[in-house]
Amino acid sequence: MSEIKSEQQEIALLNKSINLFTKPSAVFTNIKDRSDWWFPFTIIVLVTIISALSTVDIQVRAQRDFINTSEMIPESKKVEMLDAMDNQGMLNKQVAPAIGGALSVGISYLVVAGALMLFGNFVYGGQASFTQIFALVSWGGLIGLPELIVKLPMMLINRTLHAPTSPAIFLSSLESKTLLYNVLDVFDIFAIWKIIVFSVGFAIIYNFSMKKSYTAVVVLYVIYAGVSISLGQLFKGVML
């Protein structure tokens, strides 16, 4: 009996994963009553780790290029930093990106869920639990799967961490730190897809209109994009 129940649960989770791409409203209607977030969250953490491990060499190359071209780092310090990178063991090179990728997913999901809940509960005066909103973010985050399928091969083929699926694709990777590049990259097709999916979930969980929901999600995305671009331009010469 327990085996049959387990199989049914697996099928249900698989169906929900498929429906996220075809009928997202059905998924969010379900999680409104049953806020199961662990499955999509685990999937995204795993694919993020795989992506990080797949691009270790590209990340190391990008770090070396940054150090060599940075005007903020003294020449004597550059030598020390490059030597330290060369003396790193393979374990450190692979474990650190994997842990960093997993942590980045957890932290970013918590921040996004907190921002959505702040807007929904306090700005709009709605009612939803943090678990419901975190489930919304976790299931909506599955849009990262097709994004990875598209972008990872581009990164591996071009040997770069920049794989734009936005109007920024018409600019070279050498312009990746420019203001124009970052502004154009705001209109990434997967970011727009996530906005649509998150808005659907936000509307269903809070019983808001789609217009109200889109307004909330777009405003939060614009704030996020503005802060990211501003910090990028401010610290583009400093290795964080």
The tens digit of pLDDT for each residue in 40-76 reads 999 999 999 988 888 888 888 887 877 777 777 777 7
Closest listed residue to residue 207, CA positions, set 37, 34, 38, 25: 25
The tens digit of pLDDT for each residue in 205-217 reads 999 999 999 999 9
How confident is the prediction for the chain on average, in pLDDT?
86
What does pTM read for this prediction? 0.85
Closest listed residue to residue 18, CA positions, set 1, 2, 3, 40: 40
Q: How confident is the model at residue 236 (pLDDT cuts 50, 70, 90)?
A: low
If you average pLDDT over residues 174-185, what whole number do you get?
86
Q: Give the CA angle between residues 16, 129, 24 to the nearest 5°.
A: 25
